């Protein structure tokens, strides 16, 4: 990991040095030679460090010390360049910046030249030390450890019944004749291997498949070796060189079951090649990669996604392993801290339990101390060896150092805190942790890196997935703890209250909730303690969650900041920002709900790329801000000043080439400035517009809106490969002015909210439109019929009071994959057989929904998920779960909880819920009974989001328990419906 951090930083420095050596800087010969020397040395060291990325744990002590020295040297070189050249890569820029650059580099006797000479000597000395101590020579790296399996012994199983039952039913209920693959996918340590083994050893499965084979993919680097291992378990006499032919003959005549634990893509390609589509055999695979699971189970297969344990089940596992004699209130509090930190990962809970067994009488305070130092225990104590191996392999399996660094960077956010994807990506870009390659832009590479982390289940989506795009995510709790500890050990991330804060690149302040732990292992103090006026911070980011306290006036000491994230700061005042304009390097600035006015001189933030004002009370945007030369993302609900500036005057504030990509958004009022300026923002990709009441009342602004929308859509025709999103909210006004927009134009996503008398023609004529959302338009069935002609639409969301009369016939929406319907009247559209042939997700959100409401999900062969309002009745839940169970793809039934917007003009939103409200009380009561009376009973190691119908006995039990429900303990309030009474096992 040390190599990854130093390598990423060194590459950033090398790129800056290359820029500095460009023709536009007139350097003296001596200074140019010094810079060229540093550039060459660092470039060579960069290549050497990359060789250490595979297994830094195998490095010798001299190698580790050398890498630490080079990391610090890279930091100092970057600091030197940044202090003298605040915008070294700027093309053209403000005169003051160019003057500062010229002043910095024109004299060999300048401070800059002197600093460069010192750095050159340090680089040379470091290089000599590497030679003297033979840091590069004779090294021998051990191969990476094979991925650790997380198989849990029988005695550790907590609730295997329900997930096992579901997979056994899938396995035994599938029709013979077609290759069927069950993929079990999830984060390392979530219990994939344990679940697969439980299914494999089930007596009913053994009877059905007398010929069985279990192989570990991690033990076979070559696919031929994997096939041979499978063949040997079938007791054939085939020679290894003829393994494939023998397997082919065997599979033609025998009904068998094969389990491949920890499969990779190469393994699957080899296995798939020897299977015929018409076969009686079945395959179960486990993997941490979502893409591999999807590939293995394409067609008639099934992907089972593991979930972490809920709080109640986590506590039940601890009770079973550690607190089997009972739990005092004081110990209860300590166990809650463990549950929060382990975040439902079974292997983490078992590891902590093993560690606590070494205590004669564990107390709650001791449990809390273990939590605070969990990262250190994972590094030092043998009880955590298996867990550490899983976490290290998750990290080491990432493809390159920018991806590793990007993952480490997520630990700057609090454990369990939701992270918005766009915020994370923009921060990566501002920090320089993403570098373009081939023909991909920095943004495209950042999007790709984010998707890789999602694919590996290291970070997981937590928002309601009504579209394929992940908007919000979080890291697994135990992985966060591991990364934070390593980041602190490597001077990468720490608290601003750390006494050694001046050595770190990224600082944060986190105020933990009452009863939770922050997990800092370093000595801490008040943020303002021991801060001398001469102390220099090398931090590139500062992120504050909660109260900043006295530190609110100290952040400007971090003069090299690139990211200042104050969105979640609760006690910031306008006066604390009076010197923010002095942060010359700032690229990302977000402010929170306590800020009412723009910081003065903010237009001097020459390098600013992202300005996020969405949570502030700021409404008026100074015209000078849109003139910032690098501004790419402007977020808020803003108006230009009331002063009626003419377009020619406004254009003076725009840079020669505006880089604004996101304008989300602005209020269109009597001042048409924003609308007119849109025509000059050639790189715009995302626009959000609110129409003010005054605009709708006098209709004066409507022509300007139509013209701006027309121009935005027309410009998209020149770049059809670039996504373009428009969101238009005309509130209580009529949107009929959209009828004047000419047909054609390119948009990839369109959102309209407000009254329409008819669907504007331009909506259905847009080129490239793949996502459409209509909200509160008051359109009815016949008005929406034209939507059915949209052949390329992938996602449709309708938020309407009444969709009766809307009929989707065979052949309509031939490409649609995701349909979200939020209605008040519980009568969904009529969907004929043959319509929506590629539908993957159906969200039908109405709390008053009555049974299936005429929807026949068997018409949709590709369906993978159904989402319902969490307030629907128990009968409706049971009918949908029964229908899902009968569907060939067994789509998971999800439940979403409605959140009414604070602002009346905002759209209703839904978030993921634990389950239907009608089942929560009964589930809590059952959990309480189970915890007290049946601790020895096997319950679930993982709870899957996939739902299945309850049998009649369980339904009756629920009704009895609901009628006799006592007051539930507070700690059970979050249990939801994640635990069900054990089903009758087919095993």
pLDDT value at residue 793:
94
* DSSP tag of 828: P
859-896 per-residue burial string, b: 16 or more CB within 10 A, e: under 16:
bbeebbbbbbbbbbbbebbbbbbebbbebebbbbbbbb
pLDDT category, 433, cuts 50, 70, 90?
confident
pLDDT value at residue 452:
92
Per-residue model confidence as pLDDT tens digits over 491-517: 889 988 888 888 888 999 987 543 333
pLDDT value at residue 668:
85
* DSSP tag of 941: S
Secondary structure class of 884 (helix, strand, coil): helix
When pLDDT is averaged across residues 220-241 and rounded to a whole number, the result is 73
pLDDT value at residue 421:
93
**Pair 212, 176: CB distance under 8 Å:** no
Residue 947 has pLDDT above 70, yes or no: no
Per-residue model confidence as pLDDT tens digits over 171-180: 887 666 666 8
Alpha carbon distances (Å) from 671 to 430, 644, 731 = 33, 6, 18
User: 10 Å Cβ neighbour count for 800?
Assistant: 19
Alpha carbons 88 and 852: distance in angstroms, whole number: 62
Residue 480 has pLDDT above 50, yes or no: yes
Of the candidates 564, 568, 565, the residue with the CA atom closest to the CA atom of residue 547: 568
CB burial of residue 339 (10 Å; 0-12, 13-18, 19+): buried
Q: What is the DSSP string of 245-261?
A: HHHHHHHHH--EEEEEE
Inter-residue long-range contacts of 424-428, CB under 8 Å, 24+ positions, other chains counted: 424/450, 424/473, 425/450, 426/588, 426/609, 426/610, 426/633, 427/541, 427/563, 427/565, 427/588
Of the candidates 84, 81, 19, 86, the residue with the CA atom closest to the CA atom of residue 607: 86
**Pair 261, 217: CB distance under 8 Å:** yes
Cβ contacts of residue 984 below 8 Å, gap of 6+?
Answer: 951
**Pair 653, 631: CB distance under 8 Å:** no
Give phi and psi for 523, each to the nearest 5. Answer: -65, 130
pLDDT category, 80, cuts 50, 70, 90?
confident
Higher pLDDT, 900 or 867: 867
Q: What distance lies between CA 755 and its chain's CA centroid? A: 35
What share of the chain has pLDDT > 90, as a percent? 25
pLDDT category, 541, cuts 50, 70, 90?
very high
pLDDT category, 360, cuts 50, 70, 90?
low
Within 756-900, strands assigned E span 771-775, 795-800, 807-808, 818-823, 830-831, 841-845, 865-869, 892-899
Average pLDDT, the chain: 77
pLDDT value at residue 696:
53
pLDDT value at residue 751:
95
pTM for the structure as a whole: 0.84
Secondary structure class of 151 (helix, strand, coil): coil
3-state percent helix, strand, coil for the chain, nearest multiple of 5: 45, 15, 40
pLDDT value at residue 941:
38
Residue 449 has pLDDT above 80, yes or no: yes
User: 10 Å Cβ neighbour count for 853?
Assistant: 15
Alpha carbons 701 and 692: distance in angstroms, whole number: 9
110-125 per-residue burial string, b: 16 or more CB within 10 A, e: under 16:
bebbebbeebbebbee
Alpha carbon distances (Å) from 459 to 372, 411, 676, 877, 900 = 22, 11, 41, 30, 28
Alpha carbons 750 and 756: distance in angstroms, whole number: 15
Of the ranges 159-173, 593-607, 659-673, 939-953, which one carries the lowest mean pLDDT score? Answer: 939-953
When pLDDT is averaged across residues 762-769 and rounded to a whole number, the result is 88
Alpha carbons 557 and 534: distance in angstroms, whole number: 9
Cβ contacts of residue 602 below 8 Å, gap of 6+?
Answer: 580, 581, 622, 625
When pLDDT is averaged across residues 259-280 and rounded to a whole number, the result is 84
Higher pLDDT, 429 or 500: 429
* Residue with token string 């209250």: 497
pLDDT category, 45, cuts 50, 70, 90?
low
Reduce the secondary structure of 558-611 to three states and give it as a string: CCCCCEEEEEEECCCCHHHHCCHHHCCCCCEEECCCCCCCCCCCHHHCCCCCEE
Alpha carbons 598 and 578: distance in angstroms, whole number: 10
* Residue with token string 């229908």: 883
When pLDDT is averaged across residues 743-750 and rounded to a whole number, the result is 88
When pLDDT is averaged across residues 819-840 and rounded to a whole number, the result is 92
Alpha carbons 304 and 287: distance in angstroms, whole number: 11
Residue 698 has pLDDT above 60, yes or no: no
In the chain, the largest separation of any two C-alpha atoms, in whole Å, equals 89
**Pair 244, 275: CB distance under 8 Å:** no
Per-residue model confidence as pLDDT tens digits over 50-67: 555 444 455 567 777 777
pLDDT category, 642, cuts 50, 70, 90?
low
pLDDT value at residue 917:
83
Alpha carbons 288 and 147: distance in angstroms, whole number: 10
Alpha carbons 466 and 117: distance in angstroms, whole number: 57
Within 607-661, strands assigned E span 610-612, 620-621, 633-640
Q: What is the DSSP string of 158-188?
A: -S-HHHHHHHHHHHHHSPTTS-EEEEEE-ST
Higher pLDDT, 828 or 88: 828
pLDDT value at residue 195:
92
Residue 215 has pLDDT above 70, yes or no: yes
Higher pLDDT, 480 or 97: 480
Taking the chain, what is the end-to-end CA distance rounded to the nearest angstrom? 45
Of the ranges 293-297, 657-661, 912-916, which one carries the lowest mean pLDDT score? Answer: 912-916
Residue 93 has pLDDT above 70, yes or no: no
Higher pLDDT, 362 or 432: 432
């Amino acid at each position: 990991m040390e190599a990854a951090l130093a390598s990423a930083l060194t590459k950033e420095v090398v790129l800056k040095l290359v820029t500095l050596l460009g023709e536009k800087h007139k350097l003296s010969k001596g200074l140019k030679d010094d810079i060229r020397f540093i550039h060459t040395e660092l470039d060579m060291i960069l290549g050497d460090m990359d060789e250490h990325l595979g297994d830094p744990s195998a490095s010798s002590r001299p190698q580790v010390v050398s890498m630490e020295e080079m990391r610090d040297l890279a930091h100092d070189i970057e600091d030197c360049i940044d202090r003298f050249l605040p915008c070294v890569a700027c093309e053209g820029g403000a005169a003051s910046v160019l003057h500062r650059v010229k002043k910095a580099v024109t004299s060999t006797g300048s401070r800059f030249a002197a600093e460069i000479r010192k750095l050159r000597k340090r680089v040379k000395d470091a290089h000599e030390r590497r030679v003297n101590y033979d840091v590069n020579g004779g090294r021998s790296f051990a191969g990476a450890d094979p991925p650790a399996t997380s198989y849990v012994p029988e005695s550790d199983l907590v609730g295997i019944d329900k997930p096992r039952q579901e997979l056994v039913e899938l396995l035994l209920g599938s029709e013979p004749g077609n290759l069927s693959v069950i993929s079990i996918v999830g984060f390392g340590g979530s219990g994939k291997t344990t679940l697969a083994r439980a299914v494999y050893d089930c007596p009913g499965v053994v009877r059905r498949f007398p010929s069985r084979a279990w192989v570990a993919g991690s033990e076979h680097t070559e696919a031929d070796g994997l096939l041979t291992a499978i063949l040997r378990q079938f007791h054939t006499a085939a020679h290894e060189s003829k393994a494939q032919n023998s397997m082919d003959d065997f599979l033609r005549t025998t009904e068998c079951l094969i389990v491949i634990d920890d499969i990779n893509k190469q393994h699957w390609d080899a296995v798939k090649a020897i299977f015929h589509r018409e076969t009686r055999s079945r395959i179960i695979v486990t993997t941490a990669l979502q893409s591999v699971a999807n590939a293995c189970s394409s067609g008639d297969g099934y992907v089972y996604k593991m979930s972490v344990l809920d709080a109640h089940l986590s506590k039940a596992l601890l009770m079973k392993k550690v607190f089997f004699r009972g739990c005092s209130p004081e110990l209860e509090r300590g166990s809650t801290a463990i549950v929060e930190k382990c975040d439902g990962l079974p292997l983490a809970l078992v590891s902590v339990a093993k560690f606590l067994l070494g205590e004669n009488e564990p107390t709650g305070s001791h449990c809390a101390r273990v939590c605070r130092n969990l990262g250190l225990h994972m590094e030092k104590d043998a009880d955590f060896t298996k867990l550490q191996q899983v976490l290290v392999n998750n990290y080491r399996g990432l493809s390159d150092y920018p991806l590793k660094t990007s993952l480490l960077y997520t630990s700057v956010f609090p454990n369990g805190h939701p992270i918005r994807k766009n915020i994370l990506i923009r921060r990566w870009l501002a920090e320089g942790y993403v570098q373009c390659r081939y023909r991909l832009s920095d943004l495209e590479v950042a999007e790709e890196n984010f998707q890789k982390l999602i694919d590996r289940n290291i970070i997981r989506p937590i928002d309601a997935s009504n579209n394929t795009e992940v908007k919000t995510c979080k890291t697994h709790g135990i992985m966060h703890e591991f990364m934070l500890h390593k980041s602190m050990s490597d001077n990468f991330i720490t608290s601003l209250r750390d006494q050694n804060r001046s050595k770190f690149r990224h600082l944060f302040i986190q105020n933990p909730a009452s009863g939770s732990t922050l997990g800092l292992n370093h000595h801490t103090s008040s943020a303002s303690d021991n801060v001398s006026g001469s102390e220099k911070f090398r931090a590139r980011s500062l992120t504050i969650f909660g109260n900043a306290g006295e530190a609110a006036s100290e952040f400007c000491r971090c003069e090299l900041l690139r990211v200042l994230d104050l969105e979640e700061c609760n006690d910031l005042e306008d006066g604390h920002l009076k010197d923010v304009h002095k942060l010359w390097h700032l690229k990302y600035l977000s402010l929170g709900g306590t800020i009412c006015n723009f910081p003065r001189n903010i237009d001097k933030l020459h390098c600013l790329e992202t300005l996020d004002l969405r949570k502030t009370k700021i409404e008026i945007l100074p015209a000078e801000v849109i003139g910032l030369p690098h501004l790419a993302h402007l977020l808020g609900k803003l108006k230009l000043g009331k002063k009626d500036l003419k377009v020619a005057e406004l254009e003076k504030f725009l840079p020669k080439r505006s880089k604004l990509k996101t304008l989300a958004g602005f209020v269109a009022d009597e001042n048409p400035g924003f609308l007119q300026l849109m025509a000059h923002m050639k790189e715009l990709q995302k626009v959000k517009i609110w129409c003010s009441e005054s605009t709708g009342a006098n209709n004066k602004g409507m022509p300007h809106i139509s013209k701006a929308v027309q121009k935005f859509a027309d410009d998209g025709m020149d770049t059809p490969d670039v996504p373009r999103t428009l969101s238009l909210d005309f509130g209580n006004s009529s949107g009929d002015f959209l009828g004047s927009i000419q047909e054609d134009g390119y948009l990839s996503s369109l959102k309209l909210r407000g009254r329409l008398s008819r669907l504007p023609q331009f909506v259905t004529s847009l080129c490239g439109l793949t996502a459409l959302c209509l909200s509160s338009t008051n359109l009815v069935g016949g008005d929406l019929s034209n939507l059915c002609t949209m052949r390329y639409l992938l996602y449709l969301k309708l938020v309407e009071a009444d969709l009766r009369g809307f009929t989707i016939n065979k052949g309509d929406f031939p490409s649609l994959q995701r349909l979200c319907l939020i209605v008040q009247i519980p009568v969904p559209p009529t969907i004929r057989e043959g319509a929506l042939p590629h539908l993957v997700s159906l969200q039908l959100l109405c709390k008053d929904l009555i049974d299936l409401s005429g929807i026949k999900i068997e018409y949709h062969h590709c369906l993978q998920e159904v989402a319902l309002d969490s307030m629907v009745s128990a009968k409706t839940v049971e009918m949908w779960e029964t229908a899902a169970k009968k569907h060939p793809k067994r789509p998971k039934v999800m439940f979403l909880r409605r959140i009414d917007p604070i602002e009346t003009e905002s759209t209703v939103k839904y978030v993921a819920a634990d389950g239907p409200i009608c089942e929560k009380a009964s589930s809590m009561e059952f959990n309480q009974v189970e915890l007290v009376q049946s601790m020895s009973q096997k319950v679930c190691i993982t709870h899957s989001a996939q739902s299945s119908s309850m049998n009649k006995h369980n339904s009756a039990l629920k009704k009895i328990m609901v009628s006799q429900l006592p007051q539930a303990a507070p700690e059970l309030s979050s249990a939801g419906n994640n635990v069900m009474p054990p089903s009758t096992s087919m095993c």
